[in-house]
Structure 1
Amino acid sequence: MNKDVLTFGVEEEFFVVDRDGHLSPAGDAVVDAADEEEGELQQELTRSQAESATGICTARDEAERQLTALRTDLAEAAARRGCRLLPSGSAPLAETVLPAITPNPRYERMSEHFGATARTSHTCGCHVHIAVPDRETGIRVIDHVRPFLPALLTVTANSAICDGYDTGYASWRYQQWNRWPSAGAPPLFGSLDHYESIVDAWLRAGAILDRAMVYWDVRLSEKQPTVEFRLGDVAATVGDAVLYGVLIRGLVGTILASEARPPKLSNEVLRAQIWRASREGLSGRCPHFRTGDLAPASEVLDDVVTFAAGALAETGDLDFVRDGCARLAAEGGGADRQRARFEKRRAAEDVVDLLAVRPARD
Structure 2
Amino acid sequence: MTDDVLTFGVEEEFFVVDRDGRLSPAGDAVVEAADEEEGELQQELTRSQAESATDICTTHDEAERQLTTLRAELASTAARRDCRLLPSGCAPLAETALPTITPNPRYERIAEHFGATARTSHTCGCHVHIAIPDRETGIRVINHVRPFLPALLIVTANSAICDGYDTGYASWRYQQWNRWPSAGSPPRFDSLDHYESIVDGWLRAGAILDRAMVYWDVRLSDKQPTVEFRFADVAATPGEAVLLATLIRGLAGTILASEGHPADLSNEVLRAQIWRASREGLSGRCAHFRTGDPAPANDVLDDVVTFAADALEETGDLEFVRDGCTRLNTDGSGADRQRARFEKRRRAEDVVDLLAERPGFRGSSSG
The answer to whether the superposition gives a TM-score over 0.5 is: yes
1:306 to 2:284 alignment: no
Give the TM-score normalised by the residue count of structure 2.
0.98
Distance in 1, Cα, partners of 2:38 & 2:190: 37
TM-score, L = length of structure 1 = 0.99
SS at match of 1:127: strand
Partners in 1 of 2:57 and 2:230 — Cα distance? 18
Structure-2 separation of matches of 1:174 and 1:97: 22
- Corresponding residue for residue 141 of structure 1: 141
Corresponding residue for residue 154 of structure 1: 154
Structure 2: how far apart are the matches of 1:361 and 1:334? 19
The answer on whether the counterparts of 1:126 and 1:233 sit within 8 Å (CA) in structure 2 is yes
Matched residue type, 2:327? R
Cα offset for 1:35? 0.8
Match of 1:351 in 2: 351
Is contact 2:154-2:281 (8 Å) kept? Answer: yes
Q: Distance in 1 between matches of 2:113 and 2:264?
A: 35
SS at match of 2:155: helix
- Provide the rounded CA distance (Å) in 2 between the counterparts of 1:42 and 1:314: 33
Equivalent AA in structure 2 for residue 9 of structure 1: G
Q: Match for residue 201 of structure 2? A: 201
- Count of matched residue positions in the alignment of Structure 1 and Structure 2: 362
Q: Is the 8 A contact 2:156 2:234 kept in 1?
A: yes
Q: How does 1:186-335 map to 2 (within 5 A)?
A: 186-335=186-335
**Take 1:240 and 1:361, find their aligned partners in 2: how far apart are those partners?**
17
SS at match of 2:276: helix
Partner of 2:54: 54
CA distance in structure 1 between the aligned counterparts of 2:292 and 2:163, rounded to whole angstroms: 33
SS at match of 2:154: helix
Distance (Å, rounded) in 2 between the aligned partners of 1:93 and 1:22: 7
* 1:183 partner SS: coil
CA distance in 2, matches of 1:223, 1:361: 32
User: C-alpha offsets along residues 13-60 of structure 1, whole Å, 9 cap, x if unaligned?
Assistant: 000000000000000000001110000000000000000000000011
Residue 199 to residue 345, structure 1, CA distance change in 2 (3 Å)? same
* RMSD (Å) for aligned C-alpha atoms: 0.8
The CA deviation string for residues 139-193 of structure 1, in whole angstroms up to 9 with x for no partner, is 0000000000000000000000000000000000000000000000000002100
Which AA in structure 1 matches 2:112? E
Counterparts of residues 19-168 of structure 1 (less than 5 Å)? 19-168=19-168
Distance in 2 (alpha carbons) for counterparts of 1:190 and 1:201: 16
Is residue 140–residue 190 contact of structure 1 (8 Å, CA) maintained in 2?
no
Residues 72, 361 of structure 2: 8 Å contact kept: no
Letter in 1 for 2:193: D
CA distance in 1, matches of 2:354, 2:267: 37
Q: How far did residue 293 of structure 1 move?
A: 0.5
- Give the counterpart letter for 2:264 in structure 1: K
Judge conservation of contact 2:16–2:23 (CA < 8 Å) in 1.
Answer: yes
The one-letter code sitting in structure 2 at the alignment partner of 1:211 is R
Task: Find the aligned partners of 1:325 and 1:295 in 2 and give their Cα distance.
Answer: 16
Cα deviation code 1:202-221 (max 9, x no counterpart): 00000000000000000000
| Matched residue SS, 1:156 | coil
Query: 1:100-124: per-residue Cα shift (whole Å, max 9, x none)?
Result: 0000000000000000000101100
> Aligned partners of 1:144, 1:215: CA distance in 2, in Å?
18
Task: Tell me, in whole angstroms, the C-alpha distance in 2 between the residues paired with 1:167 and 1:137.
Answer: 38
Shift of 1:361: 6.9
Identical pairs, percent: 85
**Paired letter, 1:53:** A
CA distance in 1, matches of 2:227, 2:261: 19
Q: Which runs of 5+ in 1 are unaligned?
A: none
Deviations 1:255-285 (A, max 9, x none): 0000000001000000000000000001110
1:186 & 1:13 partners in 2: Cα distance? Answer: 22
Instruction: Indicate the residue corresponding to 1:184 in structure 2.
Output: 184
Corresponding residue of 2:365: none
Residue 341 of structure 1 is matched in structure 2 by: 341
Distance 2:110 2:317 in 1: 40
Q: Residue 179 of structure 1 aligns to which amino acid in structure 2?
A: R
Find the aligned partners of 1:155 and 1:346 in 2 and give their Cα distance. Answer: 25
Task: State the alpha-carbon separation in 2 of the partners of residues 2 and 283 from structure 1.
Answer: 37
Structure 2 residue aligned with 1:17: 17
Q: Which amino acid aligns with 1:294?
A: P
Letter in 1 for 2:175: Q
Residue identity opposite 2:353 in structure 1: D
Q: Are the aligned partners of 1:143 and 1:190 in contact in 2 as well (CA < 8 Å)?
A: no
* Structure 2 Cα separation of the partners of residues 47 and 70 of structure 1: 18
- The one-letter code matched in structure 1 to 2:236 is A
Aligned structure 1 segments of 4 or more residues deviating by more than 6 angstroms? none
Asked whether the equivalents of residues 254 and 311 of structure 1 are also in contact (C-alpha less than 8 Å), the reply is yes
Structure 2 distance, partners of 1:304, 1:228, is: 19
Classify the secondary structure of the residue corresponding to 2:11: strand
